[in-house]
Amino acid sequence: MTKALILDFGGVVTRTLFETHGVTERALGLAPGTLTWKGPFDPSTDPLWQRMQNREITERDYWMERTRETGRLIGEDWTDMKTFVQRARGAEPDLVLRPEARETILAAKAAGVKLAILSNELDLFYGVDFRKRFPLIDLFDVIVDATYTGILKPDPRAYEQAIAEIQVAKENCVFVDDQKKNIEGADAVGLPNVHFDVTRPAESYAEARAMLGL
């Protein structure tokens, strides 16, 4: 029986920007502690994150505001998320791959599990060059990116496209995402899933591996 692991990218495969403030501050020449917003790691520091969780603004809205304000800190006008990602992380993809993601992706591939990415903004946020150089990206059989499809999770069509392209029955797939609304979208189409907790990545990946029998 063929199985498939379908992963969101930002926050699931990569460490979040919240987790790499130190890297960002060093890369941009900012004093340690300049960046105080911590999203899910401390919602009290981040009213804008709370607005996103309350669905008052979209995830794209959230990150575009963080992009603009971080650019202003160094006297620059940043108008796209990939500028933030590439400048903040020195365009070094190895710095941001989650170790737990690496372990699970390699284990899945070795076991013959198909691999897919289902992202709302992979190339929009990270840029084509970053994605092409990202570790293990060539192990993925399918990448469905709303940068090009224009279909954003939790729209049912996003999940249906990923399932169709990976060519595995949905009951044999496991979808992993850190946004609750996207998990609700997976539930709506009957796609087995794990709600990824960015504060407990090892536990979330262990759950996904158990569901796949790895």
Task: Give tens-digit pLDDT for 64-82.
Answer: 999 999 999 999 999 998 8
Say what the pLDDT of residue 95 is: 81
Tell me the average pLDDT across 9-23: 93
Question: 3-class DSSP state for residue 55?
Answer: coil
pLDDT at 92: 75
Cβ pair 130, 91 in contact under 8 A: yes
Q: What is the pLDDT of residues 146-158, one digit of tens each?
A: 999 999 999 999 9
pLDDT beyond 70 at 57:
yes
pLDDT digits (tens, 9 = 90+) for 166-214: 999 999 999 999 999 999 999 999 999 999 999 999 999 999 999 999 9
8: its two tokens: 């969101």
Q: Tell me what pLDDT residue 86 has.
A: 84
pLDDT score at 91 = 62
pLDDT band at residue 90, thresholds of 50, 70 and 90? low
- What would the two tokens of residue 16 be? 């979040």
Residues 6+ apart with CB under 8 A from 58: 52
